[in-house]
Amino acid sequence: MREISHPAVGDLRIVNVFHALSDPARLGIVARLLTEGEIACADFDLPFAKATRAHHFRVLRESGLIRVRWEGKHQYAAVREPDLEARFPGLADVIRQHQAEQT
């Protein structure tokens, strides 16, 4: 199984999180993950090339917003909600509220 590196909770920085969330596509990915839980990265129907989609997931992972794991040939992503709540209380709720207002 491939190991993917993720920042430790203490290394999460709000500037990196805000940068990751500043892109509407990445914000949408996080909002969907918060709503639906863990999802295969390939199940996101994004209007981008595969390389661009991989870039967005990498930015989200490196910011500490999501955790990505391999299962066979597939990658699965989930929001690191407990870690985010510990480091930035209420952030996940703000994202959920923003998404609800957009629909």
Q: What is the overall mean pLDDT for the chain? A: 95
Q: Where are the domains of the chain?
A: 10-95
Bridge partners (DSSP) of residue 74 are 71
Find the mean pLDDT for residues 86-92. Answer: 97
In 3D space, the residue among 101, 83, 15 whose CA is nearest the CA of residue 92 turns out to be 83
Assigned token pair, 40: 């295969």
What pTM was computed for the model?
0.93
Out of 1.10.10.10, 3.40.50.300, 3.90.550.10, 3.60.9.10, the CATH code matching 10-95 is: 1.10.10.10
Q: Residues 30-67: pLDDT tens digits? A: 999 999 999 999 999 889 899 999 999 999 999 999 99
pLDDT above 70: percentage of residues in the chain = 99
What's the pLDDT at 19?
98
Q: What is the pLDDT of residue 1?
A: 58
